[in-house]
Amino acid sequence: MTPYQLSIAALLRHGAAIHADSVVRCYDGERVERCTYADVVADAARLAAGLESLGLGPGDRIGVGLWNTREHLAAFLAIPAMGATIHTVNPRLSAEQLTFVLADAEDRLLVLDATMLPAFAGVDLGPVEHVVVVGGVDDAAHAALAALDRPWTPHGALVDGRPETYEWRDGDELDVATLCYTTGTTGEPKGAAYTQRHVVLHSLGECSANTLAISRDDVVMPISPMFHVNAWGLPYTAWLAGADLVLTGRHVQGEHLIRLIEQERPTVAAGVPTILADVLRCGEGRALDLSSLRLLMSGGSPVPRAVVEQFDRRWGVPVTQALGMTENGLLALARPPAGADREEAIGWRSRTGRVIAGVEVRAVAEDGTPLPADGESAGELEVRGWWVVGSYWNGRGADRFRDGWLRTGDVGTVDRSGWIEISDRLKDVIKSGGEWISSVAVEAAAMEHPAVAEAAVIAVPDERWFERPLVCVALRDGARLSPGELRAFLAERLQSWWLPERVAFVAAVPKTSVGKFDKKALRRQLQDGELEIELTRSASDAPARP
């Protein structure tokens, strides 16, 4: 007999029945408007009825390009709970990529914030039959809409006056609830298809006391956009727990965040290191009270220890590294062991993280053999678990799976307590003389230099060692640094055979649509001869080892 389904309808009903008075606080850049869970439930019902009126229903994909708003939260709940799939669209993708993902997802409808319309210039909407626009449509937006060449409806016209209740569908927990495309630094974007079951189990996992411990007493502020790994699942998790939510709109600059933290006093927030660094910059020398935050998760790329330290020293805020992927949400959290003192805790919280209940992580050798969990044996990390996808949308990326395990593309170690250390991306690791050099470690060392704003390391071919590291450095405004000085600085921090012989000074390191270093672009620049390479020492001076 069919068990009671792990459905988003059940999750929605729970919040509606038990936490009707929990509050969603929505920021428009100037003020915060409050509504209750009960209001959002009514929003969701009206949206579902509106979507039905356009002929949409179970099994359909609906593309949604919205900031972190009340309308987006209602769509997160309503679309899967009516049996359809919400495809969260990242407006920072290129027009080519947007064209691709809309076609790949076969979206029948596109819900767009008016401010995102310019990003869709030149996009072929392909299967999209209709566009719904949220927010005011000015002349420029009108022009952009005309260019999209589809009928469109303002969001208000779609939902106003519709009934405030809806008979949500429990359906099949293996139906795809959310579709989120990986940003494709390698190859075409791949759709990570999260089933209803994945979403619910991930939410339960994030409520666990060992992980985020989100309860009805929390105020949760996702800083990451909801189109990026569903804001790490936090909207669903908060809903299951009945926590208040702070939705930032599109306003995630340091100044806005500081204002929101001081005013709304979130207890849990989550963002990428770049944003956290922006908060540090804006808060420099100011007397701020950010102490409401009991947990500030950092993910997406490794958090510099200095960021963790600064948040702790200035405001007593525990920045804690979280490991996750679009394909599986949260995998590991760098929560310090009980009894760690403040200084030790900073060290623990800067690490990659400890595996959480619900996922299994292992390192494997190049031939796929599992390596011991001894904290030393490094290999590609593979994961499987209750919220790890088993395939990509449309069967893409089948080579990323092996015996039911997802290959993460990360290189690292796992120890006997489940602590992971990621040393590099597999494709970025530099294979020098049969040994691996971690590009991330060399970058981190270079970025400790006060003159260095950014440093990205890629491999260059080498006759003797097969590959050697090239460090691409963007200096801070007005700073100066010679190749020899950089080398001397690195020599104090890295083993000698990791020291790069080559440096290229660049204006800025190219970034992907989610703000990560775009090493694919750097490699292309290298190949096209666009990087001006200088030697950090005599080329004849070979590395001491291996």
Residue 229, SS3? helix
- State which amino acid sits at residue 481: L
| Residue 168 annotated as catalytic | no
Distance CA 308, CA 295 (A): 12
Out of 140, 147, 157, 174, the only residue in the binding site for a copy of itself (CB under 8 A) is: 174
Out of 91, 385, 483, 500, the only residue in the binding site for a copy of itself (CB under 8 A) is: 385
Cβ proximity to a copy of itself, 124 vs 170, nearer residue: 170
| Residue 182 annotated as catalytic | yes
Angle between helices 305-315 and 273-283 (to 10 degrees): 40
Distance CA 308, CA 314 (A): 10
Question: Taking the complex as a whole, how short is the minimal distance between the CB of residue 214 and a copy of itself, in angstroms?
Answer: 6
Question: Taking the complex as a whole, how short is the minimal distance between the CB of residue 357 and a copy of itself, in angstroms?
Answer: 5
> Near a copy of itself by CB under 8 A, which window of 50-58, 147-155, 181-189, 412-420?
412-420
- Would you give the distance in Å from CA 530 to the centre of its chain? 30
Distance CA 331, CA 353 (A): 8
> Near a copy of itself by CB under 8 A, which window of 82-90, 379-387, 443-451, 514-522?
379-387
DSSP code of 356?
Answer: P
Please identify which of the residues 206, 327, 380, 443 carries the catalytic annotation: 327
Out of 307, 346, 355, 526, the only residue in the binding site for a copy of itself (CB under 8 A) is: 355
* 193 touches a copy of itself (CB under 8 A): no
Which H or E run includes 38?
helix 37-53
Cβ proximity to a copy of itself, 395 vs 461, nearer residue: 395
| Residue 532 annotated as catalytic | no
Please identify which of the residues 69, 85, 178, 182 carries the catalytic annotation: 182
Listed in sequence order, the residues at least 6 apart from 498 whose beta carbon sits closer than 8 Å to its beta carbon are 437, 438, 441, 442, 469
Residue 335, SS3? coil
DSSP code of 137?
Answer: -
Full DSSP string of 53-86: HTT--TT-EEEEE--BSHHHHHHHHHHHHTT-EE
* 404 touches a copy of itself (CB under 8 A): yes
Among positions 439-458, residues that touch a copy of itself (CB under 8 A) are: none
What φ, ψ does residue 405 adopt, rounded to 5°?
-105, 140
Question: Taking the complex as a whole, how short is the minimal distance between the CB of residue 170 and a copy of itself, in angstroms?
Answer: 10
Out of 52, 106, 360, 448, the only residue in the binding site for a copy of itself (CB under 8 A) is: 360
H helix runs in 388-535, sequence order: 439-447, 483-491, 519-527
Residue 448: closest CA among 477, 510, 407, 491: 491
Among positions 237-276, residues that touch a copy of itself (CB under 8 A) are: 240-242
| Residue 326 annotated as catalytic | no
Cβ proximity to a copy of itself, 145 vs 268, nearer residue: 268
* 201 touches a copy of itself (CB under 8 A): yes
Residues near a copy of itself (CB under 8 A): 1, 3-4, 6, 10, 13-14, 17-21, 174, 195, 197-198, 201, 204-205, 207-210, 213-218, 240-242, 338, 354-355, 357-358, 360, 373, 384-386, 388, 390-391, 404, 416-418
